[in-house]
Structure 1
Amino acid sequence: MTRLTRVVVIGSESTGKTILTDRLASHFGVLWTPEFVRGYAEQKGAPIVDSDQWPIAVGQMAAQDEAEVRARAAGHQLLLHDTDLVSTVVYGHHYHGQCLPAIEEEARRRLANQYLLLDIDVPWVPDPVRDRGYRRQELHALFEGTLRLFRAPFTVIRGSWDDRFSLARTVIESALGMV
């Protein structure tokens, strides 16, 4: 079986995660999973509450598991995720002051091979799901702290949109042994 390298694009709101993940997937010709919670929040049409943590985690895991099966079937060596359970952990702590221990355990068990932590050095763009642009620094620090606590391999990605793509591409190529 071909080794599948999983790379997660992660970070606080409005840092370009979806755009970068899509661009990287197109560049490498691979699959990617979207951020589950965005669709969940849009469908719910109400604020996310503490009891939403488990359904969000289950949906995220299911989407990633299904994508992994498809990527392996296609013979891909790379699978990209626009966030993962680490994000669920971070947002649980950020919004609710805690995260379910089962979610934290699953997040640790399912750590990706590489995380691309997007910096907050780009303009915040509001939308109906985003609500805390004024707390970006705090949230970014929580993402970084959680990745360190989980001992997850990560690289901070910053700069212009083109700089972000270039650095992310280089990190992925290195993870794949292409450089």
Structure 2
Amino acid sequence: MNKRKHIKKIAIVGPESTGKSTIAAAMAKYYQVPWVPEYARYYCEALTEPCTLQDEVNMFHGQVALEQSVLAMAETDFIICDTTFLTVKIWSDAFFGETPQIVLHALQQNPYDFYVLLDIDLPWEDDPLRDFPNQREHFMEVWHKELKTLGANYKVVSGIGEDRLKNAVEVVDEFWLSTV
């Protein structure tokens, strides 16, 4: 029987407007590995009513399913994830003051091997799906707190333009070398 190897998951996370999708796509291209897009973006673009706690649960399920489908097809040593469902916890807490229990339970059951936490040093870019241009420092603190609570292995990456990608590649290379 052919036992499938463990494919490492590298997550690109951070507050709004920090370049997560751009960096995730660029890193996947650089390393020539699959990447998992942010399911919530597609989901929220289709919403016709304000987001509810049930929508957050739906986004959780969508992100997990998308990630599992990419993992099932991956033939590489790792994949890149454009955010994780930890974002569902952060947004649920911010908007509704609570996190659905299914998300809390899954946080411990679905670890990521390494997180790249993107800094808030990029200028804010308006987007209809972004909500908190004046609370970036607050959400950066929230990300640090949540990652520390999980005991996550993570590094903060800053830089503008190509420097941001170069710095992200550098921390992922350091992580990768520490695992072989």
TM-score by length of 2: 0.92
Matches within 5 A, 1:133-152: 133-152=133-152
Letter in 2 for 1:173: D
Shift of 1:176: 2.4
Q: Name the counterpart of 2:54.
A: 51
* 2:120 is equivalent to residue 120 of structure 1: yes
Letter in 2 for 1:21: A
Taking the aligned partners of 1:85 and 1:108, their CA distance within structure 2 comes to: 12
Taking the aligned partners of 2:95 and 2:120, their CA distance within structure 1 comes to: 19
Q: Structure 1, residues 92-129: CA drift from partner, whole Å, max 9, x if none? A: 11121111122011022112000011111110101111
Q: Name the counterpart of 1:68.
A: 71
Q: Name the counterpart of 2:38.
A: 35
Q: Name the counterpart of 1:88.
A: 88
Kindly tell me the number of residue pairs found equivalent between the two proteins: 176
Shift of 1:45: 3.2
Shift of 1:48: 1.5
Q: Structure 1, residues 25-68: CA drift from partner, whole Å, max 9, x if none? A: 00000110111111100011333222212111100100000010
For the 8 Å contact 1:6–1:113, the answer to whether it is kept is: yes
Taking the aligned partners of 1:7 and 1:151, their CA distance within structure 2 comes to: 15
For the 8 Å contact 1:4–1:79, the answer to whether it is kept is: yes
Q: For structure 1, which segment, 127-136 or 168-177, has the greater mean C-alpha deviation from structure 2 after superposition?
A: 168-177
Structure 1, unaligned runs of 5 or more: none
Taking the aligned partners of 1:150 and 1:69, their CA distance within structure 2 comes to: 25
Instruction: Give SS of 1:27's match.
Output: helix
* 2:13 is equivalent to residue 6 of structure 1: no
Instruction: Give SS of 1:133's match.
Output: coil
Instruction: Give SS of 2:43's match.
Output: helix
Instruction: Give SS of 1:149's match.
Output: helix
Taking the aligned partners of 1:145 and 1:93, their CA distance within structure 2 comes to: 13
Structure 2, unaligned runs of 5 or more: none
For the 8 Å contact 2:89–2:99, the answer to whether it is kept is: yes
Q: Name the counterpart of 1:171.
A: 171
Taking the aligned partners of 2:133 and 2:30, their CA distance within structure 1 comes to: 30
Q: For structure 1, which segment, 92-101 or 16-25, has the greater mean C-alpha deviation from structure 2 after superposition?
A: 92-101
Letter in 2 for 1:56: M
Taking the aligned partners of 2:142 and 2:33, their CA distance within structure 1 comes to: 29
Shift of 1:174: 2.5
For the 8 Å contact 1:94–1:139, the answer to whether it is kept is: no
Percent of counterpart pairs with the same letter? 26
Instruction: Give SS of 1:171's match.
Output: helix
